[in-house]
Amino acid sequence: MLNSEHLKGIFPAITTPVQSDDTIDVNATQALFTWLTGQGVDGVVPLGGTGEYGALSRHERVRFVELCAKLADQRMPVISGVLDTGYHDAMTAAEDFAKAGADGLLVITPYYTNPTQMGIRDYFLRYADESPLPILIYEIPYRTRISIDPEVLHELSRHERIIGMKACNTDMYHYLRVMAGVDSSFAVLSGEDTLFPLQVAAGATGGIVVTANLLPKTWRKVFDLATAGKTSEALALHRQLIPLMSLAFSETNPGPMKSVMDLIGVNAPALLAPLRQPKEELRNALRAEYSKLLDMYEQVPANR
């Protein structure tokens, strides 16, 4: 059973390779797993925002989790996103993903209804009690418009089936307050590529990292430096990734990133509505920057 001890290291928030008919591209997904497992990631997180959860059909979501579980082959955990707005749909997803082979669930803060802090607490406590799998809380207030009070997270962290969280709140003081009171059995994972070394230095046990699709070994190096207390070296390496991150997030993720993944053998640039292909000048700039970093830091695929 997945627990917080397994939540250490680099967990790419993986893209969902799709074909022109909006169904899963099996071959491209296999290529993505070949790349990531060869680079030594610690787990994968399908069906988050990077995985275009809301744009996939329910059938294809389940199919993708099944494929990820098969390709992971118990070598690393598969933690599936659950981004539904309502409790019952979110629980149905939990049951479906458990049957499909997921090891854990990344459950987003309930949004649109504008719940109170006690409503958020009650939601996660009930979900954890009824979920077939352990859960991580997904706090991303710049998408949901809902921030969870640190004191609520402290309480939730003591539930035995709430094993961690993806921290995407860019308010570092909020993050430090969270870290000051969560239970020792609760793993906080950085959810922000842009703040990753600072969040690790302040106690994160790893990260759910978007651009780790592209540079898994480099992100592992940043993590290793930060956890070893070599914060200045971690920040120096992270600084080299800033141009890539600025380009990758300059239009809605995962559009820019998908447009260059053929450089690692994953040729599936198609996006799901309402996302559109990034502008040509952005694709070209990102391709040039990514090619440079691949040559500098990664084991480049032979077929590149």
Q: Which residues are catalytic?
A: 138, 166
- Of 278, 203, 207, the C-alpha closest to 238 is 207
Q: Are 202 and 179 in contact (CB under 8 A)?
A: yes
Dihedral pair phi/psi, residue 282, rounded to 5°: -70, -45
Closest to 110 (Cα-Cα) out of 148, 53, 79 = 148
Q: Which of 127, 52, 121, 67 is nearest to 97 (CA)?
A: 67
Is the Cβ–Cβ distance between 133 and 104 less than 8 Å? yes
22, two tokens: 């909006």
Q: CA torsion sign, 202 to 203 to 206 to 208?
A: negative
The residue among 175, 138, 156, 168 whose CA lies nearest residue 47 is 138
